[in-house]
Amino acid sequence: MQLLIMAAGMGSRFGGLKQIEPMGPNDEFIIDYSIFDCIKAGFSKVVFIIKEENYEVFKETIGARVEPHIKTEYVFQKLENIPDFVKIPDSRVKPWGTGQAIYSAKDAITEPFLVINADDFYGRDAFMVAKDFLENAKEKEYGIIAYKVINTMTENGSVKRGVIESTNGNLEKITESSIEKNNENRIIATPLSGAKPFEITEDTLVSMNLLAFDKTIFPYLKEQMELFFKTNAENLEKCEFLIPDILDKANKEGYAKVKVLQTDSSWYGVTYKEDKESVKKSIKELVDKNEYPKDLWR
C-alpha cells in the first residue's frame, strides 16, 4: 500500500504554506502525524504532490524527517500537465484541481493507494479503516473513508466537504458543498454547483478527500480530463477538475464500485488562521494521552 499526499495548495484562506506550520510539541507538522499513522498501518511508500517551486523547502523540512522511516518520492503538479489541445489562458495561475493532482502521480504509484490532503489531521482510526479496505479490495473497488460532519467543522467559518448519500455502504451520490452552521445552529450545505442549499444532521457522512484507489483510476482520470477540458473550453480561467466529482461519475457510470467506510476519528485542520491554536491544543491532548510520542520521529 502507498500513500499519496496532495500538498500543492498554498492555503490561501490560511494565508501561507500551511503544510509546514509547526503544530506538535517538537514543531511537528500536521503532515508528520499522517505519515506516522500510515507507517503504523503498514504503508510502504509515500508520494508527495507539490509545486515544483516548493521542492527544496519540502525536502529540507518534511522530507528530512520522514525519509529515514519510509520510501519517499516527490511529483510536481504543473499547470501544463494537461491534454495537448488545451490553450491555457495567460490569467490562469492556479492548478486544475485534485483530479489533475492525482493524475500527476500516475508514474510514481505502483500499488493500491490512499489519497489524503497534506493539511488535514485524519486520526489513527481512519488509516486503519483504509488499511483494512485496501488489503481486501477487488480491482476497480474504490473507497471513501467518511466522517460524521460534526467531527469535521471549524468554529471560524465554512468548510468544503463532499456530502455523501449511500445505501448499505455503497455510494449513491456525493455533493461537493460549502458547510457551516447558521444563526439557528443548524448545519447547512450549499452545493458548489450552485444548486439549492439543504440542511444536514450532525451524523451525516462527508468526504475529506481520504480516498482509496487502485491503479485503474489513472486511465479513467485521463479519459475524464480530456472530456472536462472540452466541456469547459469557455471557462478555463476558473474551472477545476475535482476528484469527488470524478469519483461520483465513475460510480454512476459503473466504471468502479465505490464503498463508503465510516471512521469515528475527529478531523483537525487549519482552514483559517484562527484554527491554529485549537489544532495545537488537540494534538497536545493526544500526546498527553500517549497516543503519539512527544518527539514523533525520535
Mean pLDDT of the chain: 90
Please report which confidence band the pLDDT of residue 49 belongs to, taking 50, 70 and 90 as the band edges: very high
Dihedral (Cα; 143, 202, 123, 209), 10-degree rounding: 40
Residue 202 has pLDDT above 90, yes or no: yes
- On whether the pTM is more than 0.85, the answer is yes
Residue 15 has pLDDT above 50, yes or no: no
Mean pLDDT of the region 232-244:
88
Q: Which residues pair with 147 in a beta bridge?
A: 206
Residue 260 has pLDDT above 80, yes or no: yes
pLDDT score of 20: 64
Residue 259 has pLDDT above 50, yes or no: yes
Mean pLDDT of the region 159-179:
92
pLDDT tens-place string over residues 143-157: 999 999 999 988 878
pLDDT score of 298: 83
Please give the Cα distance from 135 to 190 (Å, whole number).
35
Please report which confidence band the pLDDT of residue 72 belongs to, taking 50, 70 and 90 as the band edges: very high
pLDDT score of 19: 57
Please report which confidence band the pLDDT of residue 21 belongs to, taking 50, 70 and 90 as the band edges: confident
Please report which confidence band the pLDDT of residue 179 belongs to, taking 50, 70 and 90 as the band edges: very high
Task: Please report, rounded to a whole number, the percentage of residues in the chain having pLDDT higher than 70.
Answer: 96
- Based on its alpha-carbon atoms, the radius of gyration of the chain, rounded to whole angstroms, reads 18
Instruction: Determine how many CB atoms are found less than 10 A away from the CB of residue 16.
Output: 11
Please give the Cα distance from 240 to 141 (Å, whole number).
25
Residue 276 has pLDDT above 90, yes or no: no
Mean pLDDT of the region 173-199:
92
Q: What domains lie within the chain, and their CATH numbers?
A: 2-288 (3.90.550.10)
Please report which confidence band the pLDDT of residue 245 belongs to, taking 50, 70 and 90 as the band edges: confident
Mean pLDDT of the region 78-104:
89
Tell me which of 272 and 19 has the higher pLDDT: 272
Kindly give the pairing relationship between strand 187-191 and strand 198-200. Answer: antiparallel
Residue 284 has pLDDT above 90, yes or no: yes
CB environment 132-158: b (16+ within 10 A), e (fewer): ebbeebeebbbbbbbbbbebbbbebeb
Please report which confidence band the pLDDT of residue 131 belongs to, taking 50, 70 and 90 as the band edges: very high
C-alpha cell at 183: 444563526
pLDDT score of 9: 66
pLDDT tens-place string over residues 107-130: 999 999 999 998 889 999 999 999
